[in-house]
Structure 1
């Protein structure tokens, strides 16, 4: 969506804060011994207490309130009986709706003890996100986001998952502009309009380039191909003349 009033912006800021605070609460509870189902329950309660509803559950009948992906799972992991263990790499993705407005945020967390290469991957995953955010400004090409993240990944010898992209958001969970690449896309010619609302969410990996369905009767969970540690960091933002206005901050 493109924001057309201060009321719309205020409601987008509210749901953005709710998503960020929910993810923050879940991250604080993340420790060895907790199940992904218990972690998801914390997220559900936080959303409901704030008057919001899970976006994937509402829009797509996803079988959990949040997406929790562990190790080999790269995205859309379903909460269940899986027990978090020391050394696990866990991605928490929270998207929600309130008063007809949507927001989406995500981050990856390494459970101690953490290997040096995973600690560096997490740090560089956050750097990749901010590299893309620095290209957000009304009037600039959308391609600049993917070009900058792609150059960062190449320079630091990472790969990017190239079938999971950023997306427009606002009045629905996924809307125009659809499929905003976080890698170099020579066919991307769109320009960021003042007030455009969308996500930036690179999937940085130690070798994977694709997200694939794992089968086994699970139509949701995606796995890295080839199997490799992968992180995702995501913000919902508004393109303004002064740069990105980040909506998914906890304060």
Structure 2
């Protein structure tokens, strides 16, 4: 059952999402060769707690850390460790926080130093597919319309769309109805309704869409060992249209990047 949120609840969820956004923005300047994912994880936990919030992943389903840190061929759910990042790596950082009794949850895949043109294209296409999916999140459409839009865009670019892992509704629980696959058929699935809030999160593989899991019970990798990228936003339907509650602008501010990619999905442009 889809749990519709009031405008007041959506504003509280925006605060939760922005804690995550600011955490990712803080981490953006820390992602560099020689840094360990466990160090980044500790920074994130401290930052979230300093902002009157609680790490949303720590202990969730017994996950042991604050961040899911997934480098290179890891798709999602990587466990932070003491292995240093290397020049040319990519690292997906998925972060969650609880504030006002609501969850925020989104992700960004960072290049570590300079990456190859092929990897840079993977990151760009995956991020673009996120906004393609968000544009389809509107009253009158169905879940399948969002997944179809992401899948069509991604596969036309020559990449694999992960099937086993999907986006989701979000609210007082991390995972609520509906599931939001990154593939689908137009006109299929649950109706999109006013006041729903979801996490849309394309997971895109450079090669095959197939995946495998490590024995740690968490880490998901591409089956062929090729890189994977992951981007995620929290999005509400307000006045029939999608509005992004999270933002990558703190990341861009830290990295000196100019972007207006989110502006079409905001009633008011954030000041950061």
Deviates more, 1:128-137 or 1:223-232: 223-232
TM-score (norm: length of structure 2): 0.87
Name the CA distance, whole Å, in 1 between partners of 2:234 and 2:208. Answer: 24
Structure 2 counterpart of 1:29? 30
**CA 1:130–1:187 in structure 2 vs 1: closer, same or farther (change >3 Å)?**
closer
- The aligned runs of 1:83-102 (5 Å cut-off) are 83-102=84-103
Name the CA distance, whole Å, in 2 between partners of 1:141 and 1:173. Answer: 21
Structure 2 counterpart of 1:235? 233
Structure 2 counterpart of 1:222? 220
| 1:99 CA displacement | 2.3
| 1:186 CA displacement | 7.2
**CA 1:214–1:59 in structure 2 vs 1: closer, same or farther (change >3 Å)?**
closer
Structure 1 counterpart of 2:263? none
Name the CA distance, whole Å, in 1 between partners of 2:20 and 2:212. Answer: 26
Checking the alignment, whether the CA contact within 8 Å between 1:138 and 1:240 is kept in structure 2 is no
| 1:151 CA displacement | 0.9
Structure 2 residue runs without a partner (length 5+): 251-271
Does residue 203 of structure 2 align to residue 203 of structure 1? yes
Checking the alignment, whether the CA contact within 8 Å between 2:194 and 2:240 is kept in structure 1 is no
Q: Deviations over 1:60-112 (max 9, x none)?
A: 22111111111121111111111011011100001111121011110111112
Structure 1 counterpart of 2:259? none
Name the CA distance, whole Å, in 1 between partners of 2:126 and 2:59. Answer: 29
TM-score (norm: length of structure 1): 0.94
Checking the alignment, whether the CA contact within 8 Å between 1:208 and 1:227 is kept in structure 2 is no
Name the CA distance, whole Å, in 2 between partners of 1:232 and 1:244. Answer: 20
Structure 1 counterpart of 2:4? 2
Name the CA distance, whole Å, in 2 between partners of 1:168 and 1:22. Answer: 21
| 1:148 CA displacement | 0.8
Q: How many residues align?
A: 247
Checking the alignment, whether the CA contact within 8 Å between 1:237 and 1:245 is kept in structure 2 is yes
- The aligned runs of 1:1-251 (5 Å cut-off) are 1-6=3-8, 8-177=9-178, 179-185=179-185, 188-215=188-215, 218-249=216-247, 250=250, 251=272
Name the CA distance, whole Å, in 2 between partners of 1:45 and 1:147. Answer: 39
- The DSSP-based 3-state class of the residue aligned with 1:56 is coil
| 1:207 CA displacement | 1.1
Name the CA distance, whole Å, in 1 between partners of 2:188 and 2:51. Answer: 38
- The DSSP-based 3-state class of the residue aligned with 2:191 is coil
Deviates more, 1:196-205 or 1:186-195: 186-195
Structure 1 counterpart of 2:264? none
Checking the alignment, whether the CA contact within 8 Å between 1:164 and 1:211 is kept in structure 2 is no
Name the CA distance, whole Å, in 1 between partners of 2:92 and 2:83. Answer: 14
Name the CA distance, whole Å, in 2 between partners of 1:40 and 1:158. Answer: 29
- The DSSP-based 3-state class of the residue aligned with 1:15 is helix
Name the CA distance, whole Å, in 1 between partners of 2:181 and 2:92. Answer: 20
Checking the alignment, whether the CA contact within 8 Å between 2:20 and 2:95 is kept in structure 1 is yes
Checking the alignment, whether the CA contact within 8 Å between 1:31 and 1:111 is kept in structure 2 is yes
